[in-house]
């Protein structure tokens, strides 16, 4: 925001280090895109939906039961996950069967779990 206000206040960044980092870093846009992805994963309800769908496909009604939440709230969150191309759905009668739309999500989740537990990886919990 204010890159000028500090230069007059006596701060001395290591210009070499700053230059090296800047040239090797990804674009600001890329960083924002990655952050957006994590922001979506950073909600208990949404990550739990993805976790459940990693085990098997489920409809809104099932997810509401599992999460102990209203159908409306679940549907709102599914909309966000759809927009992020993390889940997709298929209409079956009056139900909407949801499933994961990207295997990366599982990988990301397991790595996050590894960070938390300081372990290598996690056993596969999928059905069969």
Partner DNA sequence: TTAACATATGAACAAATGATCATATATTAA
Partner DNA sequence: TTAATATATGATCATTTGTTCATATGTTAA
Contacted entry of DNA, its own copies, none for residue 83, CB cut-off 5 to 8 Å set by kind: none
As measured in angstroms, the least distance from the Cβ of 9 to its own copies is: 9
Cβ neighbours of residue 97 under 8 Å, at least 6 residues apart? 57, 58, 59, 89, 90, 91
Contact call for residues 61 and 95 (beta carbons, < 8 A):
yes
Whether the CB-CB separation of 47 and 41 falls below 8 Å is answered with yes
User: Which of 76, 79, 92, 104 is the binder for its own copies (CB under 8 A)?
Assistant: 104
CB 109 within 8 Å of CB 117? no
Residue 75's binding partner, choosing from DNA, its own copies, none, with beta-carbon cut-off 5 to 8 A by kind?
DNA
Residues 38-57 contacting its own copies, CB under 8 A = 38-44, 46-48, 51-52, 55-56
Report the partner that residue 33 touches, choosing among DNA, its own copies, none (CB closer than 5 to 8 A by kind): its own copies
Q: Would you give the DSSP letter of residue 27?
A: P
CB atoms under 10 Å from CB of 25, counted, come to: 10
Q: Contact positions toward DNA, by CB under 7 A? A: 1-2, 9-12, 39, 43, 45, 59-61, 64, 69-73, 75-80, 89, 91, 93-96
Taking the complex as a whole, how short is the minimal distance between the CB of residue 59 and its own copies, in angstroms? 7
């Amino acid at each position: 925001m204010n890159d000028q206000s500090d230069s007059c206040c006596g701060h001395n960044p290591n210009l070499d280090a700053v230059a090296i980092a800047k040239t090797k870093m990804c674009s600001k846009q890329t960083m924002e895109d990655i952050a957006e992805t994590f922001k979506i994963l950073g909600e208990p309800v949404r990550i739990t939906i993805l976790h459940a769908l990693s085990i098997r496909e489920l409809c809104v009604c099932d997810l509401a039961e599992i999460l102990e939440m209203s159908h409306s709230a679940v549907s709102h969150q599914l909309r966000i996950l759809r927009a992020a191309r993390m889940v997709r759905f298929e209409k079956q009668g009056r139900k909407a069967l949801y499933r994961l739309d990207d295997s990366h999500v599982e990988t990301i989740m397991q790595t996050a779990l590894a960070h938390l537990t300081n372990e290598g990886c996690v056993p596969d919990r999928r059905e069969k």
